[in-house]
Amino acid sequence: MRGGLSKCLAGLLIIATSSCHSNVSTANKAVVYKGVYSFGPEIKSFKDCDSGQEFWVTDNSEQLELQYAQLRFEKPNEPVYVEVEGVKIHSGKEGMGSEYDSTLVVKKLIKITKEIPVDMCN
């Protein structure tokens, strides 16, 4: 009887673990976001064109900030249009970005341009 109970508990543990794992991977799946990005000494923000929601930005691609700098703006915080692949996570309670509900973690830069499409982002 004891062996049967152990096998049953082991089976339930495997099922529970695998179902939790699949939910985590789905939640972290990268999505394409289109919007307006601003970068400067104390700001790294993204405004989604579809929802109007604003996010703090973390650049894991190591391309977003680099290519923004290569656009050679005269002053910081100039907005640009970007298309990025990334995931949204909850922002931390402290530090930079804590005033935003969510952080957009950029995995890949698809497009960056000074020309913000008026029909898409207003």
The enclosing domain of 88 has a CATH number of: 2.40.50.540
Which residues span the domain enclosing 40?
Answer: 31-113
Residues 6+ apart with CB under 8 A from 41: 76
Task: Establish if 4 belongs to a structural domain.
Answer: no
Task: Establish if 1 belongs to a structural domain.
Answer: no
Q: Return the minimum-mean-pLDDT range out of 7-11, 40-44, 64-68, 117-121.
A: 7-11
Could you tell me which of 85, 91, 111 has the C-alpha nearest to residue 33?
85
Each residue's pLDDT tens digit, 55-84 = 999 999 999 999 999 999 988 899 999 999
Task: Establish if 87 belongs to a structural domain.
Answer: yes
The count of domains in the chain is 1
3-state secondary structure of 105: strand
Task: Establish if 5 belongs to a structural domain.
Answer: no
Task: Establish if 118 belongs to a structural domain.
Answer: no
Amino acid at 47: K
Compute the mean pLDDT over every residue in the chain, rounded to the nearest whole number: 81
Task: Establish if 2 belongs to a structural domain.
Answer: no
